[in-house]
Structure 1
Amino acid sequence: MIRRHLHWLLVLGGTALLGLAIGVLPDDAEATRAPETSVLAPTHENDTPAAELPVRTATPAQAPAAPPEPPGAWRVATVKSGDSLSLLFARNDLSPQELYKVTQNETAAKRLKRLYPGDEIKLRIDEDRLTELSYEFDLGRSLHMLRDADRFKAEIVQRPLEYRTAQAAGVINDSLFLSAQAAGLSDKLTMELAGIFGWDIDFVLDIRKGDRFAVIYEEVFLDGEKVRDGKIVAATFINRDKPFQAIRYTDADGHSDYYSPDGRSMRKAFLRTPVEFSRISSGFSLGRKHPILNTIRAHKGVDYAAPRGTPVRATGDGKIIHRGRKGGYGSTVIIQHGSSYSTLYAHLSNYARGFRTGSRVKQGQVIGYVGSSGLATGPHLHYEFRINGVHRNPLTVKLPDVQPLPRQYLADFQSHVTPLLASLDLLSQTNVALASDF
């Protein structure tokens, strides 16, 4: 009897010890990883420049066990118009001393110097002390600051972006924007599409019902969610039964541009129009009756009707040789493009800042704004195009090409082009077949 009781006591005691041993083991021993070490840039007078600041790429699939969080609760501070970092700190009850400690990190100070309305800065605050700061200054790239005693360390955390290819095609039934929207293109992509073909097609005058387009473009994803549209990779636009095709290509030096299938640049030395998507109110004519002077007077340019303040772009690279009042032209800018070409922009309401007579300008830069200065009945831009001093019709003059793709890249370009053209052709044919069914 005594032996039987002793036997059961030993069994129960062994079970209890085994239970205690099992209870202290982790639920999943294989899931336990050592925390990832993160290199932080210490604060000192000659802090690491922004380009050399250590970058840590966050990989969610291999995320390490999180280190203990600093004390305090997170707040999200949204930047308002006119805000500075000091105003943002004051609004969140942080003292000037805290601001001083943050801005002592030179690299972080540069990142936080330029804030834009709508930006969000995450602040972890514990008893009026900032313990941590996070600011996503670019898509997938964040400045992260962590308190270390009475100073802050900083790092750039970079989350990888994923690029996926998407397609869209459509037929012009009304306007380009409405037809592109019906095909699933955003306004940004539609503007980019018009910009690519804008040297060959006037999207105000040349578009006709029945014109077609097909586009292959990138979509950008972050953590599995689409965050924006990327660049157009390849596109076809058929205008009045004439096809135009463009392929985006990046050379070995990292320079990207759009080229026709035979390697010619889609860009020309001049833009066709200086005002985007405006209406032509008066064309080039040698026998037009002037609306104010009431006399027959040659109109050696094109008038673009547009709201006052509409940006006016330089149609080509060049040098400003006149910026000021010019008789009936009113406020005027004249640009010299090399030795043969010049362009004139008249009736401006104002000039763009940063330019004066003698300044160099690039194609597409804003040089002024639509107005009605001088002899003008209403807001519009008067635009002239001259070759060797002779006025030419800006709408019909043949525009000079820019340099084609360098020969050393042609073989690689052709290997890049072939599958994209096949995809564009299939997309266009499918779109035509679908359109014919309705």
Structure 2
Amino acid sequence: MVEENRGARHARKQAICRKAQRRHVSFYERCAHWSFDRSESTTPIHWHRERWVLAGTALMVTLLSGFIMPAWATAMKPAPTIEAHTLLPLALPKPAPINPATSTVDDWQVVRVQPGQTLSDIFGGRGLSLTDLQKVMDAAGDAKSALHNIRPGEEFDFLLGPGGSLRGIRFDKDQANRAIVRLDGPQPTLALERRDMDTREEVAHGVIRSSLYAAGDQAGLSAAMVGKLADLFKYDVDFVQDLREGDSFTVIYDDIYRDGARYGEGDIVAAEFVNQGKRYTAYRFRKADGNYGWFSEDGRPLQKSFLRIPVDFTRISSTFTAARMHPILGRMRAHKGVDYAAPSGTPIHAAGDGVIKYRGWENGYGNFVLIQHNKDISTAYGHMSRFASGERVGQHVKQGQIIGYVGMTGLATGPHLHYEFRVDGAQRNPQTVTLPKSEPLPGAQLAQFKATVVKPQLARLEQIDQRVKLARNNTPNTDN
């Protein structure tokens, strides 16, 4: 029974195939040769157009499968699970409290004093009022004196708040201390800040070719330091009349540094000046009273009892002589003094310590001053334009103190000082008279001076001179 059913099904299948072949006879005629049978009885495949179409279709299906399947797999991948984290509180140290005074850097505005400026000008230039200036003056305490006499080049630092209000000011109380006035607190405050001061020794050597200042400039000295050198030796050397070409000097001096920056020039430590073959020396020494002075090698102060010339002059218009044709009287007449020509108004200084014995008008002399220095020596000054204010007969004056000003009162044809040096009432030539020597240091100080100052500094000066001579000898002569 089973076999009959199976035979019937097979018969039906064959009938269906025969029916399809009859219906699609044209297709079977074209495709009857398609076969992948590799048996020997099968005819080899020939690549006709139909085979190329079939191969291209298979290749395209393969490529599309390579792109589509990974994308489909990715799309079907489940979303990742986010790992949960647990936050644990940790105890941290408390931050230090912020101090408003130190949390920010103050923006100080620096103002340098210009020639002719006053403190009120400087405050006004920062938009500050006289009330602000008075507040600073009131708070400055013992630093107030530095505000009364300001000089060009000094610096004032201003700290300004919102709207330009004054919060603070800084200025130099002295060379080594800075005053800081703060106005931004409940009450004004004043603080002093110590500056880091340092001195460094410098050495300079020069030879006079035209003038002292030109030689100093060539040696690297400032005009101020050349002036200090001239002040040291002005009692022995007339730097207008006595200088000669070939004169030389050697100077050891201090340079001052403040807070690491050069601040200015200090004092001369030791110096040597050779004028017309004569050697003069100066050494700085701290005396028993704590003050510094300058002394020659034998311990005598360089500051003599008398100034050789009591005025800064331009030329000597008349010398000391027993017979001179008077320019106004027109006859021969002795000239018992020296006339120093200078611009009208030039200060005249007392030649030495003494007492004013006469101050007024004197025939021929015009405005005239007579100073008695001791029982033997007096000095006289004539043709002044005016006297120094506040002086009177009987008043004591110090050497260098201003007693009047150059003019041309009396018998004079031009502004000049007529200067006389009198010994026991008789006039002597101020240019040649032997001036009294100053007393040397006392015995103990003199020994200390020679051991601690003269000996080491003299060795340095001699060493410098030897180097200069050696350098001069090694310099080739280009004159030939």
TM range (shorter): 0.7 to 0.9
Residue number in structure 2 paired with 1:418: 455
Residue number in structure 2 paired with 1:126: 161
Superposed counterparts of 1:226-375, under 5 Å: 226-276=262-312, 278-375=314-411
For residues 134 and 348 of structure 1, do their structure 2 counterparts lie closer, same or farther at Cα, with a shift above 3 Å needed?
same
Q: Distance in 1 between matches of 2:364 and 2:123?
A: 54
Asked if the contact 1:214/1:236 (under 8 Å) is kept, the reply is yes
- Unaligned stretches of 5+ residues in structure 2: 1-82
1:419 counterpart letter in structure 2: P
Which structure would you say has the larger Rg?
2
1:312 counterpart letter in structure 2: I
Q: Distance in 2 between matches of 1:273 and 1:134?
A: 43
1:353 counterpart letter in structure 2: S
Superposed counterparts of 1:10-409, under 5 Å: 67-69=102-104, 74-77=108-111, 81=116, 83-85=118-120, 88-89=122-123, 91-94=125-128, 98-99=132-133, 101-105=135-139, 107=141, 110-111=144-145, 113-116=147-150, 118=152, 119-128=154-163, 129-147=165-183, 149-276=185-312, 278-409=314-445
Q: Distance in 2 between matches of 1:398 and 1:408?
A: 29
Asked if the contact 1:101/1:150 (under 8 Å) is kept, the reply is no
Asked if the contact 1:162/1:222 (under 8 Å) is kept, the reply is yes
Q: Distance in 2 between matches of 1:323 and 1:142?
A: 45
For the aligned residues, what is the CA RMSD? 3.3
For residues 434 and 157 of structure 1, do their structure 2 counterparts lie closer, same or farther at Cα, with a shift above 3 Å needed?
same
TM-score normalised by structure 1 residue count: 0.79
1:319 counterpart letter in structure 2: V
Q: Distance in 2 between matches of 1:117 and 1:168?
A: 28
* SS of alignment partner, residue 208 of structure 1: coil
For residues 285 and 90 of structure 1, do their structure 2 counterparts lie closer, same or farther at Cα, with a shift above 3 Å needed?
closer
1:193 counterpart letter in structure 2: L
1:83 counterpart letter in structure 2: T
* SS of alignment partner, residue 358 of structure 1: coil
For residues 282 and 84 of structure 1, do their structure 2 counterparts lie closer, same or farther at Cα, with a shift above 3 Å needed?
same
Q: Distance in 2 between matches of 1:432 and 1:351?
A: 51
1:145 counterpart letter in structure 2: V
Asked if the contact 2:313/2:341 (under 8 Å) is kept, the reply is no
Q: Distance in 1 between matches of 2:406 and 2:243?
A: 24
2:464 counterpart letter in structure 1: L
Asked if the contact 2:388/2:405 (under 8 Å) is kept, the reply is yes
Q: Cα deviation per residue 1:198-226 (whole Å; 9 max; x = unaligned)?
A: 11222222211111111111111122222
Asked if the contact 2:140/2:181 (under 8 Å) is kept, the reply is no
TM-score normalised by structure 2 residue count: 0.73
Give the number of equivalent residue pairs: 388
Residue number in structure 1 paired with 2:468: 431
Q: Distance in 2 between matches of 1:203 and 1:94?
A: 49
1:395 counterpart letter in structure 2: Q
Asked if the contact 2:354/2:372 (under 8 Å) is kept, the reply is yes
For residues 189 and 82 of structure 1, do their structure 2 counterparts lie closer, same or farther at Cα, with a shift above 3 Å needed?
closer
Residue number in structure 2 paired with 1:39: none
Please report how far the alpha carbon of residue 156 of structure 1 lies from its aligned counterpart in structure 2 after TM superposition: 1.5
* SS of alignment partner, residue 333 of structure 2: strand
Please report how far the alpha carbon of residue 386 of structure 1 lies from its aligned counterpart in structure 2 after TM superposition: 0.2
Q: Distance in 1 between matches of 2:418 and 2:324?
A: 14
For residues 261 and 387 of structure 1, do their structure 2 counterparts lie closer, same or farther at Cα, with a shift above 3 Å needed?
same
Please state which structure has a larger fraction of its residues in helix.
2
Q: Distance in 1 between matches of 2:215 and 2:130?
A: 54
* SS of alignment partner, residue 392 of structure 2: coil
